[in-house]
Amino acid sequence: LYDNGKYNQAAAKYQQSAKSNPELYLWAAKSYTAIKDWEKAISMYESYRDNYSKANKADVNAIINLLKAPEQELFIENLGPNINTDKGEYLARISADGNRLYFNSSDQPTGLGGEDVWYSTKNNNGTWSKPNNMGSVINTETHEGILSLS
């Protein structure tokens, strides 16, 4: 049921069966998470953690903490024609000071090949400069990607 997207039915079945097989609390928790019933998901994760001896308690506690955290709204904004083109731009990361944007793009005419890492600098008026390829120190003729910034 879970694999077929029938999360409501899956949650009820897994929760009912978990009394005899505590590992199924995990699947009940995942099902409740899929339908955004956070309270029941938390309850099922707690039951899984407390009743299934092989449960990784640290991982389960981390998931519970995420579910208890306040929801945050996500705003997606087009950054203008210098950044959002008819090519694929993705995996964007912004510098800590908010003035430089790094992202991946492929099929750019001035790219080195495959997927390259690019950057753009925020102008004084709040728009972004035309992207610059990070060059051969970072990019090659194959695929490079941004994982994170620190």
DSSP tally for the chain: helices H, then strands E:
4, 4
- Considering just the CA atoms, what is the radius of gyration of the chain in Å? 22
pLDDT tens digits, 26-37: 999 999 999 999
Q: What per-residue confidence (pLDDT) applies to 125?
A: 94
Q: What per-residue confidence (pLDDT) applies to 109?
A: 78
Q: What per-residue confidence (pLDDT) applies to 150?
A: 64
Low-confidence ranges of the chain (pLDDT < 70): 147, 149-150
CA separation for the pair 127, 69 (Å, rounded)? 33
Q: What per-residue confidence (pLDDT) applies to 85?
A: 83
CA separation for the pair 45, 29 (Å, rounded)? 6
- Does the pTM surpass 0.85? The reply is no
Q: Where are the alpha helices (DSSP H) in 18-135?
A: 24-34, 38-51, 57-68
CB 117 within 8 A of CB 134: yes
Q: What per-residue confidence (pLDDT) applies to 102?
A: 93
Q: Which amino acid is at 77?
A: E
CA separation for the pair 132, 84 (Å, rounded)? 14
- Distances in Å between the Cα of 60 and the Cα atoms of 44, 116, 148 are 10, 37, 24
